[in-house]
Structure 1
């Protein structure tokens, strides 16, 4: 099959996909970069949630994996909102901000050193800022699109 006949996305949709993929890569890259900074500073990202489980070491691979998963989930959520609601951009921004705030809750509750909590917070902030700003810029809302009106009927 010829890809030209199977790819029916408009140039704008393809550009939006490329932009969103770049945003996901940038969010993941920023988190991984902060994980590497932690490693370079000899900060061991070890967290104990006092739940009977052994303390968890948070390595660069785990940081990258979770950041990529969050990025793809954000992208998918925005795409779904664009189909289901006329104000996808503002709805997504509110939802993404709420998820970000909720993601911060476990950090102060964890049994971890202060520098670990600071770095984990920085990772959350970096990913959230890149995703919220970057994906919002790619969002399109039906409210923003021109409406097709029927011609006015002249009254006598």
Structure 2
């Protein structure tokens, strides 16, 4: 392998990491903005489940980052070990997004809280899925 080929491969991996970090950051910003809008609109942002759980701004951001990093890790594994990593990852990511809506819809919470959480899940998915998919390595 020539030095040029090796550098091109490194640049490609570097830009993939940079673009995924941008997508992850954008998703965290979208989660924070959705939380802030729900909070400003008067949503209680608490869920009664084994006691009362308050959905804080920090919690929304950390949850988004953790989900995004988990998705990134799965995508990296699929890219490395399968020929159709991007396609498989997209199906899994969409399924996880849909499944993540169930607890928000069934939670013992106010309508405003449910709407805010549902919007947050959908907005984060709308940022993460296309941004990770767009830069996924081709087979």
Q: Same fold (TM over 0.5)?
A: yes
Indicate conservation of the 8 Å contact 2:44/2:112, yes or no.
no
Indicate conservation of the 8 Å contact 1:28/1:71, yes or no.
no
> When you count helix as a share of all residues, which structure comes out higher?
2
The structural deviation recorded for 1:26 is 0.6
Q: Which residue does the alignment assign to 1:141? A: 138
Q: Which residue does the alignment assign to 1:74? A: 71
Q: How does 1:26-105 map to 2 (within 5 A)?
A: 26-49=26-49, 53-105=50-102
Indicate conservation of the 8 Å contact 1:81/1:92, yes or no.
yes
* Structure 1 stretches of 4+ moved >4 Å: none
Instruction: Say yes or no: does 1:17 pair with 2:36.
Output: no
> 1:138 & 1:115 partners in 2: Cα distance?
35
Q: Which residue does the alignment assign to 2:119? A: 122
> 1:26 & 1:132 partners in 2: Cα distance?
12
RCO comparison, higher one (Cα < 8 Å, 6+): 2
> 1:42 & 1:108 partners in 2: Cα distance?
18
Q: CA RMSD in A?
A: 1.6
The structural deviation recorded for 1:122 is 0.2
The structural deviation recorded for 1:38 is 1.9
- TM-score norm. by structure 2 comes to 0.90
Indicate conservation of the 8 Å contact 2:48/2:109, yes or no.
yes
> 1:129 & 1:11 partners in 2: Cα distance?
27
The structural deviation recorded for 1:39 is 2.2
Residue aligned with 1:47, SS? strand
